[in-house]
Structure 1
Amino acid sequence: MSAGTPPERRPWDRVVAATRSGLRRYPRHLMASVRGQPLPIDSLPELNLPSADLAAVWLGHATSFIRLAGADILTDPVLSDRIGMSVGARTIGLPRLVARPPQALPRPRLILLSHAHFDHLDKPSLKRLVDPETVVITARRTARLIPKGFGDVIELDWGKAAQIGGVEVRAMRPRHWGARAALDHWRGYNAYRLAGAGRSVLFAGDTAHTDAFNDLRPDLAVFGIGAYEPWEHAHATPEQVWSMFERSGGANLLPIHHSTFELSDEQADEPLSRLRAAAGAHAARIVGAALGEFWAGPGLDPPA
């Protein structure tokens, strides 16, 4: 068994481990959110991305802002201070541990939603982003969860594609699941390959270890690297992410989905440290690793 590849847990063992993990954090955070305790966090500064064939910045958790072929693309936007169920104007759930995304974001041409989990499809955030010029692409049987007012909401099943301006979006199958609640496992869950202006991006969404992305050769691969303990059956370990990235033939890896919310048992700084160790001499291919750090594709200079 290779380093970073945990033994496969039996289904019942997964349930026990997940229950114990949740009980270590959810009760105290739920009570704090019910009491409405404010969070001592700031907002990231305003984005300053130039016109570019390919540029990206990580904004926390699975939210990244990507500029591809002149189109602004936002992945799994979570702008809220907490994730969880909305009760009136309040969200009952886990608190954000790091700076929130900028208060004002450039209007995205396209929003990509990987699946319906509360930490990826955040209704309060989507309501803030409603714009008739913005298209939302989402997974199968999730469109009814999207607030009204967007220019279009497109459900893409695996293997299907949509053309949004100069960007082709193709849905792929990661190794995950799509339920928003306990019983709606019929909802879809997607990864996406984006292509435009001779560049390509892989947004892997949430995924455990899989061969689904082999040989895609993206200029930028966006992979989640956290929430694997004890959820390795649904979220790849950092070592598994590096293996998937190498097998994809990708040029650059943007790590996301870590250290923003306390979803799992690993320490906040562990995923990125393990990813860099797995990359070894190739760690320079890990880009935009710091929250709010701008990255531009080869031959492009970051803004002054």
Structure 2
Amino acid sequence: MILARRQAAAWDSPGRAGLTWLGQAGFWIDTGHHRLLIDPYLSDSLARKYAGRRHDHRRMMPPPITPEALPRPDLVLVTHAHTDHMDPDTLGPLAARCPDLPFVVPAACEAIARERIGAGARLVLVDAGERIEPLPGLRLTVLPAAHETRDTDAQGRHLFLGYAVGFADTILYHSGDCVPFAGLEGLLCDLSPGIVLLPVNGRDAARREAGIPGNFTLEEAVALAQKAGAAVLVPHHFGLFAFNTCEPAAIDRLAAVTDRPAILRPRPGETLHPRQEPDAAGMPLLPGR
């Protein structure tokens, strides 16, 4: 099976398997049976918060869809409480429109999730190590993440999470914000994900001193995908904020010399979807387990 590009967004063709990048760590994923929303940041809430400061959080790219125009998904996954992942101006209006919509959030972040998503929002509280079936036919494995460090609350619950989503014969892994840490490779090898969505904006001392925790470098993301046996790497968390990004050209250069995993740089609002026969746009990808 191959993965090809089409310009239309996945929400325009419900029931057709594919994924659309929303910018930063956000994705809309259609499994063919379920529509999932992960870490959407579709507003300018951070630009308003940091206006006039050195790191002003102005967007380098517009959101491919507004929060108001976003269709109702079947499930929302939130990896942690940083605003570009748990955005009140995106998730709050969505919860108000869809009061029965389930939001999977870290149990350690319940209080802030209630504040940002809604006091009466339907929260599904999870922690690393749990396996649940939030919707019929959809399997969710919750993994720890290290946003430079593996932080926990007073009860030992993880503040940063990743999710492995299983559907049909495919496992897709979204790491959330994460760096390499002991044990992660083993967890992924046990899961055997076919597709991995990993941040590639990297990290350095200057950002750390400014209170901006980092993520995988591009090379670290490729190495992790290779060790996990993934066929497809979709890099993300670049191109939104000028002070915290990776050059798209660097992704393309590495993709040109890497056979496995196949590296597909996403484009906002464009869908990556499976096709049965190769064509000029296709690449050999998307196996099952």
After TM superposition, the score normalised by the length of structure 2 is: 0.74
- Choose the corresponding residue for 1:282, options 256, 259, 265: 259
Structure 2: which 5+ runs fail to align? 1-7, 280-289
Identity rate, percent: 22
Q: Is 1:164 aligned to residue 129 of structure 2?
A: no
State the structure with bigger RCO (CA 8 A, min sep 6), 1 or 2.
Answer: 2
Q: What SS does the corresponding residue of 1:120 show, helix, strand or coil?
A: coil
| Conserved 8 A contact 1:82-1:95 | no
Deviation at 1:167, TM superposition (A): 0.9
RMSD (CA atoms): 3.4
Name the CA distance, whole Å, in 2 between partners of 1:300 and 1:217. 24
Q: What SS does the corresponding residue of 2:124 show, helix, strand or coil?
A: strand
After TM superposition, the score normalised by the length of structure 1 is: 0.70
- 2:273 is matched with 296
List aligned pairs for 1:1-304, cutoff 5 A: 47-52=11-16, 54-83=17-46, 93-103=56-66, 104-130=69-95, 131-146=98-113, 147-148=117-118, 152-165=122-135, 166-176=137-147, 177=149, 188-210=159-181, 211-213=183-185, 214-215=188-189, 216-230=191-205, 234-264=214-244, 268=245, 270=247, 272-279=248-255, 280-282=257-259, 285-287=262-264, 289-299=266-276
Deviation at 1:133, TM superposition (A): 3.4
| Conserved 8 A contact 1:76-1:112 | yes
- What is the identity, as a one-letter code, of the residue corresponding to 1:252? V
Cα distance change, pair 186–59 in 1 and its aligned pair in 2 (3 A)? same
Name the CA distance, whole Å, in 2 between partners of 1:169 and 1:208. 21
Deviation at 1:249, TM superposition (A): 1.1
| Conserved 8 A contact 1:46-1:105 | no
Name the CA distance, whole Å, in 2 between partners of 1:201 and 1:252. 9
Structure 1: which 5+ runs fail to align? 1-43, 180-184
Deviation per residue, 1:77-111 (Å, 9 max, x gap)? 11112426769xxxx95111102131312211111
| Conserved 8 A contact 2:15-2:31 | no
The count of aligned residue pairs is 248
Deviation per residue, 1:36-93 (Å, 9 max, x gap)? xxxxxxxx979423523x4101110111111125111111111112426769xxxx95
- 1:3 is matched with none
Name the CA distance, whole Å, in 2 between partners of 1:288 and 1:274. 10
